[in-house]
């Protein structure tokens, strides 16, 4: 599907979708429980994959009350059954990694696969860890990538793994480790990237009554625990990764004297709350009422800055798009791990912004956008089957002369299904191809 975005001004109120990261963890945590209710979940292509996995392990997910913002989960009580069929995670890397550790708890074998993009993403450190814990963990193509085969009832223990490939490996082991006999301790061999995502995991585990902790060299979760949220329910906060596109739209295209107000922006462990500070440093008029959960953004004289995305990889596309509009250079550093997402987001943003007339310098671990040398003009750009690339290019399209056509626009369904409608409601000129 293609969407046309013409140069526009935006203003008004909008609401952020619930957090995808929290929703994934909450659904799986509810699966580990006997039963639980997830309030205000994000229902998207990715989170539906996690719902299917919980059902495949012997649980059940009732979506009949989603109109009231409620998802009822019948769990598998910490003991996942061997699935009757292959679990298709489609494009959800989070589902695959979190569920891989759950599958290692079964007394048989679990097979996981997904689409072309997912089957190109690395899982080898997690597979090695499961084998070190006494389980079976194989890539059918022997390249560390899906399809994966895991199982044979791990009981816990200590493992070491790199911290600079994916924090989701640690999340997967902590969530599964709580229901093992011995618990799991993870020692990190390298610096942890995307550390706030593990903090999100610890926050969700605590809400479900599970103890886990930082150690001097990594993380530890005791075994023999039960998942049970207080009052039987857990409420998902708003998603700051998605808020970043709305905030960026306000920063680059708010009407003179007007502002974009984003509701649902409540504080949490999300590292992507950093977008507030980043846009402020770039010169946007931005304020955050944390108690009310409201973010107010209006345009300003934007200037390039240096941003380290070691802990906030999902912000790279947003920052790059704003950098193409700001004066001076926007230098995004510590970003090599961002190449391991749904697509190589470093190259994708360099190439697609280049089609719009941006001057960009790409290095292995750095992306520099030369805003003063850029003059954005509408063109056809490729969303690369990646929700974050598509939404970031839409932000650039609000400022580019003429019309920008975003291909693969439907992939926003992964994390922000109503993105195009929300953008249109703010006054952006968005039409179907």
Q: Binding site, residues?
A: 20-21, 25, 93, 121, 166-168, 194, 314, 341, 345, 388
User: What residues have CB less than 8 Å from 365, skipping those under 6 apart?
Assistant: 333, 334, 335, 336
DSSP result, 78-100 = T-PPPPSS-EE-TT-HHHHHHHH
Say how far apart CA 327 and CA 186 lie, in whole Å.
44
Q: Which residues are catalytic?
A: 314
- What's the distance, CA 347 to chain centroid? 19
DSSP β-ladder status, 260-263 and 380-382: unpaired
Say how far apart CA 109 and CA 107 lie, in whole Å.
7
Query: Tokens for 254?
Result: 């708010």
Q: Is 297 helix (H, G, I), strand (E, B) or coil?
A: strand
- What's the distance, CA 384 to chain centroid? 16
Say how far apart CA 384 and CA 116 lie, in whole Å.
12
Say how far apart CA 58 and CA 73 lie, in whole Å.
11
Integer CA distances (angstroms), 341 to 55, 97, 317, 382, 388, in order: 26, 13, 12, 16, 10
Cβ atoms of 313 and 338 within 8 Å: the answer is yes
236 DSSP assignment:
P
Q: Is 13 helix (H, G, I), strand (E, B) or coil?
A: strand
Cis bond leading into 198, ω under 30°?
A: no
Binding positions for 3-phosphoshikimate are 20-21, 25, 166-168, 194, 314, 341
Say how far apart CA 188 and CA 162 lie, in whole Å.
6
Cβ atoms of 135 and 153 within 8 Å: the answer is yes
């Amino acid at each position: 599907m293609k969407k046309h975005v013409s140069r526009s001004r935006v203003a008004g109120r909008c609401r952020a979708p619930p957090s995808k990261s929290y929703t994934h963890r909450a659904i799986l945590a509810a699966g580990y429980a006997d039963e639980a209710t997830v309030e205000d979940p994000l229902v998207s292509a990715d989170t539906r994959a996690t719902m299917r996995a919980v059902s495949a392990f012997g649980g059940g997910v009732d979506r009949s009350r989603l109109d009231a913002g409620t998802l009822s989960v019948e769990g598998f009580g910490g003991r996942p059954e061997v699935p009757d069929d292959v679990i298709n995670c489609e494009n959800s890397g989070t589902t695959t990694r979190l569920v891989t550790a759950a599958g290692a708890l079964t007394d048989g074998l679990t097979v996981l696969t997904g689409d072309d993009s997912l089957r190109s993403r690395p899982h080898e450190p997690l597979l090695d860890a499961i084998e070190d814990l006494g389980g079976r963990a194989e890539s059918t193509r022997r390249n560390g990538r899906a399809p994966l085969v895991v199982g044979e009832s791990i009981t816990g223990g200590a493992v070491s793994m790199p911290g600079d490939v994916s924090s989701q490996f640690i999340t997967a082991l902590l969530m599964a480790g709580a229901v093992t006999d011995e618990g799991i301790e993870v020692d990190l061999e390298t610096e942890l990237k995307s550390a706030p995502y593990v903090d999100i995991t610890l926050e969700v585990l605590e809400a479900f009554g599970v103890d886990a902790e930082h150690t001097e060299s990594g993380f530890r979760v005791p075994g023999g625990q039960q998942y049970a949220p207080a009052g039987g329910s857990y409420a998902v906060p708003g998603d700051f990764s998605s808020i970043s596109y709305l905030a960026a739209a306000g920063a680059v295209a708010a009407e003179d004297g007007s502002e974009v107000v984003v509701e649902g922006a409540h504080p949490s462990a999300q590292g992507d709350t950093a977008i507030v500070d980043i846009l402020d440093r770039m010169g946007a008029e931005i304020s955050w009422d944390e108690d009310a959960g409201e973010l107010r953004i209006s345009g300003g004289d934007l200037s390039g800055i240096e941003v380290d995305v070691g802990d906030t990889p999902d912000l790279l596309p947003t920052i790059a798009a704003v950098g193409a509009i700001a004066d001076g250079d926007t230098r995004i550093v510590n970003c090599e791990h961002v190449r391991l997402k749904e697509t190589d987001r470093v190259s994708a943003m360099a190439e697609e912004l280049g089609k719009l007339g941006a001057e960009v310098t790409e290095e292995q671990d750095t992306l520099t956008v030369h805003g003063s040398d850029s003059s954005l003009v509408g063109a056809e750009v490729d969303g690369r089957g990646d929700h974050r690339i598509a939404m970031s290019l839409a932000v650039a399209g609000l400022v580019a002369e003429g019309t920008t056509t975003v291909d693969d626009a439907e992939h926003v369904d992964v994390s922000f299904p109503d993105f195009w409608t929300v953008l249109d409601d703010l006054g952006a000129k968005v039409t179907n191809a």
